[in-house]
Structure 1
Amino acid sequence: MSKYLLNKFLYTVDRDPDLVERYRDDPAGTVEWWERTLGPSLLNCHSGEATTWLAFTDEERGALAAHDHVALFALGAHPFLTLTLFIAMFERDHTEPLAYQKRYGELLGHFSLPYPDIAT
């Protein structure tokens, strides 16, 4: 498991409006594509290089594909990265102001200190 790789995915997708839409519409396909093509190039990896930190675990891949911010937080994804990305993807589906942000927080409400380690 690489929290750095997980957070790098969230960060890079959030910074590109086209990737935000692609991830919203085809999460599993976007995760697979990013892990195979964009991720290694962003990390300055040479082709043919293989190490475990250059690949998501099945659990990480599944949480990303499911847009599961609670599971991502438990895996060590930084909550600010998931929040900003998921606001870009899902806030438009809510009519009440801050409805998505409130729901995001409610779903993380069962966590107590100490929180999962989000350091990379």
Structure 2
Amino acid sequence: MAEQQMYATLHCEPCAECVQEQWQSIGDGRLRWEGYAYCPRYAVQACERGRGVPPPWIRERIIAREGAVHLPVGGADGVPIALLRRVYGLTLAEVVAARTTGWQATPVEARLLMESVRTPARAGGPAGPG
């Protein structure tokens, strides 16, 4: 479940001077996201941050700016279905669709998912022989 912390909620009508930035990172093996908005015309500033998958509007802006990474789901080289469900909270129907067509992730999400596939002990999976 994503945690969200809102520092300020001050809105103006978006204008040409408005600056909006959104980004993701990985901290302690978990997704983190931040959003920042500033309007110099009205001296309005707002910051948001949270853990987990970002809200859809932030995720859409990150994908529009950085592009999406297409990941296979299931199978030997794909993202495990259980991991995908845990990270994104997908329904069974969404998992079936992702298994068929793959999953579109932000570059940071793709890095986290693929690191989890390569190191299953960190992702809560089996540690392997030994």
Q: Pick the TM interval, shorter chain.
A: under 0.3
TM-score of the superposed pair, with normalisation by structure 2: 0.26
Higher Cα Rg, which structure: 2
TM-score of the superposed pair, with normalisation by structure 1: 0.27
